[in-house]
Amino acid sequence: MSTKPALTVLLASPRGFCAGVDRAIQIVERAIETYGAPVYVRHEIVHNRHVVDRLKALGAVFVEELDQCPEDRPVVFSAHGVPKSVPAAAKARKMLYLDATCPLVSKVHVEAQRHYDAGREIVLIGHAGHPEVVGTMGQLPDGAVALIETVEDARTFQPRDPANVAFVTQTTLSVDDTAEIVDALRARFPGIAAPHKEDICYATTNRQEAVKAIAARADVLLVLGSANSSNSVRLAEVGKRAGAAAYLIDDAGGLDFAWLERARTVGVTAGASAPEVLVQGLLDRLAERFDVSLEEAEVARETVTFKLPRALAS
């Protein structure tokens, strides 16, 4: 009979890699296989330290700007998307580049362009400085897109023509927070043009729903993901809002057992850029201290896949 205290672990499903992250990582791996090392990557391919470190070991070199890349080596653009000026500069230098932008981020770029072409003033709901936001705003001329981060911003935004406004959103936001901002915009601009289909991606939505399903039953929620990962940070916020003490950790090494002193039920999830091996590592660490019984809470089944760029598809 086990002398360890009992602990129920509620495992959120879906969790971890989404189709866009999976595709982006494959693009870097295939590029290294096809062209040899080094392959340059502009910005972290996805926001996860473990993923980045593994790709570095394979021969990826991560840089922040294109001018840090030599012209004779391939460069990959990250899953978050880039301003139009970046591929234009790569073309001008006759560089071989591979665009790993998530297709669901590209969809937002297309929507923003469509609204701009229709003469609408565009509002982007998102977080200032996030590479996805920088990339989306960089699809259009300076000043064409106004960034709104909060409900207060939505209440004070002054468009040139209140009857001719459209909104798009970052794909990795809190579903609930974004809904509040959209409600505030609609209250002021009833005719505001909305995306055909919600911009917050299926993976972000599903992972937040899975957290809601377990957080109400959990004393503590552990979210695996890096601190610069927007969707991972949002998962911890959603867990807190649902009543759990929530902690964002990079891996099992970030776990402080003091958090679990009075816990009987712990929820575990992983952000969309966190590999499943980190989840297994955390479960193994919990099993060192507790008699763990595992329960998977599935709210959706994901079957989405995205094709690789033609140059790597063979």
Catalogue the active-site residues. Answer: 132
Sign of CA dihedral 74, 274, 49, 234: positive
For residues 181 and 156, what is the distance between their CA atoms, to the nearest angstrom?
Answer: 12
101: left (phi over 0), alpha (psi -120 to 50) or beta: beta
* CA angle at 48 for the pair 150 and 50, rounded to the nearest 5°: 160
Residues pairing with 221 in the sheet: 246, 267
Query: 245 CB contacts (<8 Å, ≥6 apart)?
Result: 219, 220, 221, 259
For residues 218 and 122, what is the distance between their CA atoms, to the nearest angstrom?
Answer: 40
